[in-house]
Structure formats: C-alpha cells, structure tokens
Amino acid sequence: MKRGGVGTVLALAALALVGGCKKEGPPAPPQQRAAEAAPAAGARFPLAREQVDRFVKYQTRLIELYDQVLKQREGEKAAPVARKPDGGVADPVKVSLQLFEAKAKAEEQARAEAGLSMQEVRGIEPIVAEVINERTNARDENVEGAIQQYQAMRDKLPEDQRKPVEEQLADLKADHERRMKNADQREKFGDAAVDAVLTREADLARLRIEWVKRIAALSH
C-alpha cells in the first residue's frame, strides 16, 4: 500500500523530536527488534507460511475496518453541511486529512490484531501482489483458447507447412506454463516465499480484489 503525505511528515517530525531528547527508553526485546528489522538491501524477504496466514488475517480485518471508515464518511456526506460561525463551510483539506488518519488507524489496528509489524507487511505485500497477479493474468488471458485455435490451424495445414505453427504453439504453451509456475517470481523471491503464498492463493486473490475496491472507494 502506498504511504506518505502528511502522515509521513508528521512521523518524521516526531522521530526528530525523540532523537533530540537525551533520555532514552529501555531497549526493545530481541524478538521485537527481529520482527521490525527490514531485510538488507537486495536480500529476499524470508516469507514463511505462518506469516502468510497472518497476512490473510490482516487483509480480512483491514477490509472490515475500511468499510467502517467508508460508512462513517457516507454518513458525514448525508449529514447537513456544517457551517462555521463566519458562514463558511468545513475545510476540505481537513476533511481529507481526517480520512487519511482514519485509514492509517485502520491499517495500524489490522496489523496489531494480526501480529504483523509494518516492516513485515511491506515485505509481504509485493510478494503476494506479484505472485497472485501473475497467475490471475495468466488465467484471464484465455491461453487455452488460443492454444486450441493454433492446434486447429495446424491440423488444417499440410505436413510440410506445420512447423512454424507448431513452434508458435510450443512457445505459447511454454510461456503459459512458466507464468502459471511463477518462474519469474521464484527467481526474484525464492521458491519458499512463492510456495507459501500459493498455500492461500484463493483467499489472497479474493482479498486483493476486495482491497482494490476499498482503496478506489477511499480515493473518491
């Protein structure tokens, strides 16, 4: 998910203020430090099945919380326009900021309930997105139909003219198989990470569609 804007600026300002204080709090427990430590530059995120299960829980809860935010916003839209003492109306920038804050709180709550750190979510999200999108797109392109058309075309040709069509057919099959096996993602993220995502493929594919719908609704 894309993060930034006012929330990021405020967060950086808060960190600067904390950094300027001489008093330091107790060090974080080793488990917490490990959970929040981001992988080194260029390193693969060590995604495990247990994290995928928690990510499914996170996205399920996040969609529920997004729905609450959207319901509240719809209620505010239906309410009479609140006017200021001087006759003006509510500042649209403030309204947008309140929506941004509500969205951020929903994400924080969903992460906490699923037992995931922000760094873990940032590490898991791109893996899930690429693996699920690759297989979804490979299915949606109706490659099976194209293969049948090539086969029908080949069968109508004389034996000595079939080679070019057979080569195209073989390439099409190989590319489809490569995509369905997530060959590119396995090279990028590792077999273990891809296999972990595929254990919850149906749930993740469904949740991703629902998540995109909520993000689109929140953006309008």
C-beta separation of 48 from 195 below 8 A: no
Q: Which residues pair with 83 in a beta bridge?
A: 89
**Residues 12, 157: Cα–Cα separation, whole Å:** 68
Predicted pLDDT of residue 15: 39
Which amino acid, 158? P
Three-class SS string for 60-99?
A: HHHHHHHHHHHHHHHHHHHCCCCECCCCCECCHHHHHHHH
Among 116, 122, 136, 124, smallest CA distance to 32 is for 116
Give the pLDDT mean for 90-109.
85
Predicted pLDDT of residue 112: 98
pLDDT digit string, tens, across residues 148-161 = 988 999 999 999 99
**Residues 209, 220: Cα–Cα separation, whole Å:** 17
**Residues 167, 161: Cα–Cα separation, whole Å:** 11
Query: Distances in Å between the alpha carbon of 71 and those of 56, 58, 76, 81, 137?
Result: 23, 20, 9, 17, 32
Predicted pLDDT of residue 140: 86
What is the pTM assigned to this prediction?
Answer: 0.71
**Residues 212, 191: Cα–Cα separation, whole Å:** 27
| 193: DSSP letter | H
Q: CA torsion 21→25→29→31, rounded to 10°?
A: -40
CB atoms within 10 A of CB 80: 5
Of residues 85 and 66, more confidently modeled: 66
